[in-house]
Amino acid sequence: MKKDQKRRLIEDVSANVSKFHNYGTGIFVCPTCLVKIPINEIGKVTEAHTLPKAAGFSEATLLCKKCNSNFGARQDKWLGEFLNAFTPGKPFDLSKVSQAGHFIVDGVKINGKWSYSEKEGLKIFAYDNRNSPALMSKMEEKWGKKPEKISLSLPIPLSGKQDDVNIGFITAAYLGWFSLFGYSWVFQKHLDPIRKLIRGEIEKEKARQYILYSNEINLKPWIGLIKYKGEVLPAFGVSGTTVILPPKYAPSVADIGEVSGRRLHSRDLQPITNSRKSNNYPPLIIVGSGKLIVCPDNLMWIKEKPLAIVVDESGRVQMGYPVTSEEYDKRIKEGNVREHSFEAD
Ligand SMILES: [Zn+2]
């Protein structure tokens, strides 16, 4: 992104902040750690990709420098590798994954590496200096005469990084919603556990409760609502992985029950498309199937009247009627939503 382009984006995003808080004008709030940064300190704000650029995605948003470099090191690599290797509709791509430093032939662990190309096929190499002399001579004897059949297993370290991959997906989901709906999404206290997970402050295993898999869904990255166990949840998906996030009316996904490993169908998804070009819009509440999905905290403190976005049963989005304080109170009550006072650090 060019520097003046980045400045315009920061100005646009910070104008959205000023609709919620009296921080003064020209303040950017990092969506994942909520730190406030004056926009004249442009160097502290960085462009982030909601899905790794390495995997060919280009959706960009803004983060503080600290959060951005943190994600790069911890999750981006694994998520990028995962998405590269598991392209929907294509065979698993061996050339795009890391190696474990060993492989297993007929049940015998051999230290070495392998290479794969369409032209040359699969080649395996054993390291002279990292296998015992006894093993080396056994290999010579057993496999030197080109046996008809051998069984080969190539461990891929990626599988041990599933929690990092999951957190990468959750980060993409959270930032995807931010890029669509701005601080109306971020200024919700009940998303603190998601932010902590993204920042690596709670156990990685917790990420699993937000992830659903389905072999039946092979979609490009999408953002929208998902129906699951009679609930309507904000979601994000790419290929067969779907991330569900807590809605305002049921702030803890744990209320909905154990979700991991459950199958989903395309008919359960309602992708939302939002064609707005600017981030500078009024506070929004999002209503789906009559339930309060997104609603920034302390809404009625805001000078500007919030707009309701209604997602109907067929997934169509109607945008635009101003929410009255009566409707707001009614929805908060119906959803048993506790109001939080939201304060960024
Ligand atoms: Zn941050």
E strand map for 216-324: 219-228, 231-239, 241-244, 269-271, 284-288, 291-294, 307-311, 317-322
> Of 185, 261, 279, 274, which is closest to residue 222 (Cα–Cα)?
274
What is the identity of the amino acid at 174? Y
Per domain, the residue ranges of the chain are: 3-86+161-314, 99-155
Note down pLDDT in tens along the chain; length 345 residues.
677 888 888 898 898 888 887 777 899 999 999 999 999 998 999 988 777 776 666 677 899 999 988 877 666 677 777 777 666 555 666 666 667 788 888 888 889 888 877 788 788 888 888 889 988 888 888 877 777 788 887 776 655 678 888 888 899 899 989 988 889 999 999 999 999 999 999 998 888 888 887 765 556 788 889 888 778 899 998 877 889 999 988 887 755 554 444 567 777 888 876 655 566 778 888 888 888 899 888 665 566 778 888 876 666 666 667 777 777 777 767 665 555 444 443
Contact residues for 196 (Cβ-Cβ < 8 A; gap 6+)? 202
C-alpha 111/C-alpha 3 separation (Å) is: 48
Taking CA atoms, 34 is separated from 27, 192, 238, 248, in Å, by 11, 10, 26, 19
CA 246 – ligand 1 centroid, Å: 21
CA 105 – ligand 1 centroid, Å: 46
CA 139 – ligand 1 centroid, Å: 52
> Of 79, 81, 76, 89, which is closest to residue 46 (Cα–Cα)?
76
Contact residues for 325 (Cβ-Cβ < 8 A; gap 6+)? 300
What is the identity of the amino acid at 275? S
CA 65 – ligand 1 centroid, Å: 7
CA 30 – ligand 1 centroid, Å: 5
